[in-house]
Amino acid sequence: MKKAICLFSGGLDSTVCLYLARSQQYETVALSIEYGQRHYKEVSKAQVLARALQVRHYFASLSMPWKGSSLLDDKVRLPQNRDLPILSKEIPSTYVPGRNSAFLALAMSCAETENADAIFFGANALDYSGYPDCRPDYLEAFVRAMLLGTKIGIEGKKIEIQTPLLHLSKKDIVLLGKKLDVPFEKTWSCYAGEDKPCGVCDACVLRAKGFQEAGIPDPLLS
């Protein structure tokens, strides 16, 4: 059986990605990373989800004391109510410098140790227009870096980066999640860590658009 390391935040996209890897008969190992983000609500959701699925779940942590992002610095306001066209063009203050590269490096270390065949990463087209470290060219370059920079790579094993959500709209992601029986109520997308989703941050705006266009009510809002 092939094995996959799934970068897993407990958000909508990475949860759909994890369920998809399982449905494709991968032995899945979830990897959640704490990196000093504003709140750990997603990570605790990730724990609940991984337990329910009975997948092995690693937690890794990073420290980025230089911050450089509104996700890490609660003195910087989160962008609110941004229009969708702007949202997919500008690199927002929620961009964390180098975060996905750091995540992929940890996933690479985990994959090499676990002798895994693939890393599942829930990057999405809506993100990659704004986030340079979600772009397909970059991810291809990272696959090559893994071939050159790991023992198993030098021995000839290629670790793939699977990004099944890359070209899907949020609507498609919601519909795929429904098909895979993802318990949406256990996922968390909002950048603010309150009891209820704030409804105005980019993550909430995109999530709401996805559920609305899919014609499915978001159970987190009911």
Residue 33 to residue 141: CA distance in whole angstroms:
22
The overall longest dimension of the chain from CA atoms, in Å, is 52
Stretch that binds Zn ion, among 90-98, 155-163, 175-183, 195-203 (CB under 5 A): 195-203
Decide if residue 190 touches Zn ion (CB under 5 A). Answer: yes
Which one of residues 105, 198, 208, 216 is an interface residue with Zn ion (CB under 5 A)? 198
* Number of shown-chain residues binding Zn ion (CB under 5 A): 5
Query: What is the chain's alpha carbon radius of gyration, rounded to the nearest angstrom?
Result: 17
**Contact call for residues 165 and 134 (beta carbons, < 8 A):** no
In the complex, the smallest distance separating the C-beta of residue 39 from Zn ion, rounded to whole angstroms, is 11
Of these, 5, 18, 31, 201, which contacts Zn ion (CB under 5 A)? 201
Cβ atoms of residues 34 and 62 within 8 Å: yes
Interaction of residue 208 with Zn ion, rule CB under 5 A: no
- 118-120 and 3-7 beta bridge pairing: parallel
Does position 119 bind Zn ion by CB under 5 A? no
Backbone angles phi, psi at 120, to 5 degrees: -95, 130
Minimum CB separation of residue 190 from Zn ion in Å reads 3
Q: Binding string, 145-184, against Zn ion, x = CB under 5 A? A: ----------------------------------------
72 binds Zn ion (CB under 5 A): no
User: What span, in angstroms and rounded, lies between the C-alpha atoms of 45 and 11?
Assistant: 8
Binding interface with Zn ion (CB under 5 A): 190, 197-198, 201, 204
